[in-house]
Structure 1
Amino acid sequence: MSKEFEFSRRDFVKKTSLGGLSLLALPTLTSMGLSEDFKKKFDIGATFILWGYGPDNLEPALADLSKLGYHSFETFGNVIQDYDEKRGGLEALIDKTGLPITSAFCMTDVLDPSKKKEELEKLIKWTKLLKRAGGKVVEYCPSSINRKDYDYKEHKKYMVESMNDYAKAVTDLGLVCALHPHTGTPIETEEEVYFIMENVNTEYMKFGPDVGQLQKGGADPVKICNDFMSLIEHVHLKDYEGGDNGYLGYAPLGEGEVNIKKILKQLEKERPSMAGAIMFELDYDRRVKPIHTTFEAAEISRDYLKKLGYKFS
């Protein structure tokens, strides 16, 4: 790793902490005279991909999510564009369902410099449409790749440069850009996550972990969330159990191996106020019939969170 992109953990803590102070120096709930059991309970939103990935899947998803009492939703940048160009805009659907939008999942290429101009224009368009609809966070993810023979070290300089530019463009438009590591993309493994998050410009690029994706990618989501806690502005709350189960190996909340309780406790204590939200997510895969209906899977996840003290409308 070149010196230009290499930061020590000590440098990273200085870089991301308030006023250059160590995170350990920040006041804790206990030091402020509050009980360690004090918890800020988040409003829980949801992504719509359990119902499918296309524009036609969004309205039925929002109808179910509204019935189940989820507080907000996330969709894709291209879906918002489709609504803008072909369906009269996303705002009408938001008014109809009463469910506000928090975020949009947006992907751009980070490996091919020749695509940069077009990809940046696309991201700017999606960001403007999201902002117009009332959204706050671009859940940013590098575009999917064939990871066979892929080595991030061969692309690291351009990856960092391009993501800095993408994140700055989003930030300049008034929204938050949060990096979402994802399986099947250039940022999947624990090593890749740490390299990128320790080298991008965190004035612009924040962190939006998907705890199930991290688990599936072989990383420790509890450790990663803790290490980058000061940068977390949005979270995909997903469980993971493995196997061909109709959910690409993921699972309704509470039915997998992700330590969701510990992650939520960390967030409640350290990140009670984020630009985005905690978003329940469960992937869509109709190649294998799942054990639950779509509504049931979302309901099971909601009820699991209710048992933890979270409230739904």
Structure 2
Amino acid sequence: MKLGYQTNTWGGVVGHPAGVTSVKDLYYLTPGSTEEALRDIAAAGYEGFELFDGNLMQYIDKKEEFKSLMNELSLKFVGVYTGGNFIFPDILEEELAKIESVAAFASELGAEHLVIGGGAIRSNGVKESDYKALGDALNTVIEIAEKYNLVPSYHPHLGTCVQAPEQLDKLMPLTKINLVPDTAHIEAGGGDPVEVIKKYADRIKYVHFKDYKDGEFLPLGEGNQKFDEMLKVLNEASYDGWITVELDSYADPKKGAEISRKFLADLV
């Protein structure tokens, strides 16, 4: 298995402010330095990286700078994380257009995976029809990803209509998209990540590892997650793809990356 790291620890999970009034600019974004993040990720011993769509699109007019940095650090561009509300017909076209622009640029720079988060929760709660709308939108995302030779996967996340295990089970029959399990978000949503990986092993092409304890996301080995059991299930399923470590925030991002890499050295 190959090991990557998400750059969002260098600044935390934010969003592009233009997205408040312009759906086409509704990006995930971390305000930290992508260059610093990639240098720290390489120094910690990872082979690749994932980043948010907003941070990727900051390089739209600086693509050679991005390529040079990857080459200098011998890092692979594993994937880009993007998403949308997906349940509101009036803005869906704009959301999909944004995702296509991200997919096209990510592919041009050599990315392998398109990671999709989202599925809005309405102010008055989730409608059952929202799962069908989300599934249909994700099927369109598959077409976009395949157009640019990217592997599309859906990422269950707190704050969406797919945060609890029973919600994931509602969605998965309604779409053909792959699943990228974020192990900590699954546990925080009330699920067992080992069981989710077992259940959907044939639809897993990419994995996010994150530890979790007492409501807090942590470096690997500092929480309650059973990574040895997860790896056993993945090995039994002949999984040989990327495992990307994600840690939404940490006081010393480089140190957090080093802790998780040292932990994985004894497992992978």
| Letter in structure 2 aligned against 1:273 | D
Q: 2:60 corresponds to which letter in structure 1?
A: D
Paired residues of 2:179 and 2:206 also in contact (CA < 8 A): yes
Unaligned 5+ segments in structure 2 are: 12-28
What is the TM-score when the length of structure 1 is the normalising length? 0.75
Aligned pairs for 1:1-313 (under 5 A) are: 42-52=1-11, 53-54=29-30, 56-85=32-61, 90-142=66-118, 145=120, 149-200=124-175, 202=176, 205-243=177-215, 249-274=216-241, 277-284=242-249, 290=251, 293-308=252-267, 310=268
1:56 positional shift: 4.3
Counterpart AA for 1:299:
E
Would you say how many aligned residue pairs link Structure 1 and Structure 2? 251
CA contact (8 A) 1:80 1:90 kept: no
1 CA distance for matches of 2:184 and 2:88? 28
> What do residues 55-88 of structure 1 show as CA deviations (whole Å, max 9, x unaligned)?
6421111111111110100001221111113675
Q: Share of identical aligned residues, percent?
A: 27
How far did 1:183 drift? 0.4
C-alpha separation in 2, matches of 1:307 and 1:191? 33
Pairwise CA distance, 1:147: 6.3
- Write the distance in 2 (CA, Å) between the matches of 1:179 and 1:241: 24
Instruction: Kindly indicate whether the alpha-carbon contact (under 8 Å) linking 1:210 and 1:238 is maintained by their aligned counterparts in 2.
Output: yes
C-alpha deviation, 1:90, in angstroms: 2.6
Cα deviation, residue 187, structure 1: 1.3
Give yes or no for contact 1:140–1:177 (8 Å, CA) kept in 2. yes
How far apart in 1 are the matches of 2:221 and 2:160?
26
Deviations 1:30-64 (A, max 9, x none): xxxxxxxxxxxx12111111112436421111111
Aligned counterpart, 1:35: none
Q: Which has the larger radius of gyration?
A: 1
How far residue 95 of structure 1 moved from its aligned partner, in angstroms, is 2.3
Distance between the aligned counterparts of 2:246 and 2:239, measured in 1? Answer: 20
TM-aligned CA deviation for residue 297 of structure 1: 1.6
**Partner AA of 2:169 in structure 1:** Y
Structure 1 segments (4+ residues) deviating >3 Å: 85-89, 145-149
